[in-house]
A and B are shown apart, each in its own frame.
Chain A
Amino acid sequence: MLSRFAQAALVIVVLGGCQETPGFQPESAALLGRGALPPAAELQSPLRIAAHKSGSFFVSDYMAGMVFEVEVNLARAMITRAFDVSGRPLGVAAAGQLLLVGNAEAGSVDAYNAKNGKWLFSLGGITDPTDIAVDEKGRRAFVLDGRAGQVKIFNLKRGNLVGTISGPGVGEYDLTHPTGIAYDRGQIIVSDYGDPSLSVPARIKIFDTGGSSVIAFSGNARFSRPQGLDVDSRGRIVFVEAVAGEVHVLDRESGATVGVVGGFGTNPGELWLPLDVVVDDTDQALVTSNRTRRVEILDLGGLP
């Protein structure tokens, strides 16, 4: 997706407005989705990011009430489309031609046509659709209902709930304060703040799609605010640590930290409240840096 030249250097792609860099001006102001692309489209509060099969990425923007489509080409990124979605968007995912968006106000996941932005249907009964993952065939959506402490599994063809995983609690495989979710090769990976006041550590937890717990990695002293996550080309778990402003890579079997990239800050390449990450097939990590209003691209290729 990115050139080898771009991979060689730490590629930093800046979107949105911030003091350090001028606001991004999109080159192609297409009128698509339910609303027009704003004249100077820029990120206000980038939250979750998801890859689309076309090679582009969807970024939910909580404050703008929009989902932006972002295309990355060499060292340049562009906002190419803006979807004026209902409510305040939280989680976002793409399933075939469906764009799935968590609606914080309605307590639903709203499905739009990813081509024209037309609303198609909604999945209800969700308290806090904070993050969404889909299976490899785009048939099932795994919705992390943050405050309910559950993963809710929906059949996207029928639009119905087909299962739930875990429940609120403080056990090793309960979801205490879950924040992010990813799906990979039959496994559901969830990040969880835990509850330090109850001596419940932050953890990364893996379940199979039947709801059985597989493994849980404690944050111990390495992380305490894990947010959105994904896997890299070797199946390792990649997640953002929101307070430290870091991207962590964990061995999927042992939970050992393979490496940490990024760091707290406001300069390009630094992260201030990173909330999600998506890793492309060349191990470039696209990270939403919420308070700098940017999407940063960090190279994970140098990690062992």
Chain B
Amino acid sequence: MRKWWLTSGLIFAIAIVASLLDSPGTKPVSALSMLNPSHECDFCHNVHGVGFPQLLNNASVEALCLSCHGPAGPSSLKADVHLYDNSTCKDCHVSHSNVQNWLGGTNLKLVREEVVDPRLGTDRPLVFESRGTSVGDPTLHSFCDGDEDGNGVWDGACDTCHTDEDEHDYNDTGSHSHRQGQTCTQGGCHTHVTRFKDP
């Protein structure tokens, strides 16, 4: 029985590898490259030359992200730096593929399924499946949807980190009506580049 499993596993592995090997004119497609064609593995990982060993730490990962998404990078999606000086891109984003959130959906924009509450240091769930009405998406599970699904968990992208703000806290205190369901990072409002601060 054990031998059968080993043999089956080997055959399965060979099949997977074979499926990834180049057939003429094709390349293996990573999950990330489906998000953006320029995000093939070798766009970030210098696999055959001198790599950057410092990519082992978050600061260097951030340098890699910002080399394209920073102010001087070629991407039109500008991130620059984030809200907290000690945070890095990876605090809110995963590197390689969109992840499943606690409700079973898939978060957009490589946003994590959990982020650390900046005040308490504990994990908070985050659901970000829609960019909001400003871009024609639904309000549900957008930046801040006012707990539209009614499950009592304030898990919108904005709500998740707000602990003591006037608006969009991750509980039912304060106001949740400000620009509810809209795209917070557009229109010159709470952009990455202003560290999400008020315009």
| B and A form one assembly | yes
Chain A residues within CB distance 8 Å of chain B: 19, 45, 47-48, 62-63, 88, 90, 104, 128, 130-131, 146-147, 177-180, 193, 195-197, 220-222, 224-225, 227-228, 242-245, 264, 266, 272-273, 275-276, 290-291
- Taking a contact as CB atoms closer than 8 A, the residue among B60, B66, B193 that contacts A88 in the complex is B193
Which residues in B have some Cβ–Cβ distance to A below 8 Å? 33, 37-40, 42-43, 46, 48-50, 52, 54, 59-60, 62-64, 66-68, 70-74, 76, 80-81, 85, 193-194
Among B46, B48, B64, B76, contact of A147 (Cβ-Cβ < 8 Å): B76
Instruction: Establish whether residues B72 and A245, one from each chain, have CB atoms under 8 Å apart when the complex forms.
Output: no
Complex CA gap A130/B72 in Å reads 6
Whether A196 lies near B40 (C-beta < 8 A) is yes
Which of A45, A222, A224, A275 has a CB less than 8 Å from the CB of B81? A45
Contact status A47-B71, CB under 8 Å: yes
CA gap between A23 and B60 in the complex, in Å:
23
Query: Which A residues are CB-close (under 8 A) to B64?
Result: 225, 243
A178-B73 Cα distance, complex, nearest whole Å: 9
Partner of B74, one of A146, A197, A273, A276: A146
**Cα distance A152–B105 in the bound complex, in angstroms:** 46
Contact A245 B63 (CB under 8 A): yes
Q: Are B71 and A88 in contact (CB under 8 A)?
A: yes
Q: Considering the chains assembled together, what is the distance between the CA atoms of A245 and B72 in angstroms?
A: 15
Tell me whether B74 and A291 are in contact (CB under 8 A). no
A-B contact count (CB 8 A): 100
B193 near A220 with CB under 8 A, answer no
Whether A179 contacts B42 by the Cβ 8 Å rule is no
A-B pairs with the 10 shortest C-beta distances? Answer: A221-B49, A197-B40, A62-B71, A177-B74, A242-B67, A221-B50, A225-B67, A196-B42, A275-B72, A273-B63
CB nearest neighbor in B for A246: B52
Residues of A within 8 A of B74 (CB): 146-147, 177-179, 193
Q: Assess whether A197 is in contact with B63, with CB atoms less than 8 Å apart.
A: no
Tell whether, in the assembled complex, residue A264 and residue B54 are in contact, meaning their CB atoms are under 8 Å apart.
yes
Which one of A220, A228, A243 has the highest number of Cβ atoms from chain B below 10 Å of its Cβ? A243
B60 adjacent to A63 (CB under 8 Å): no
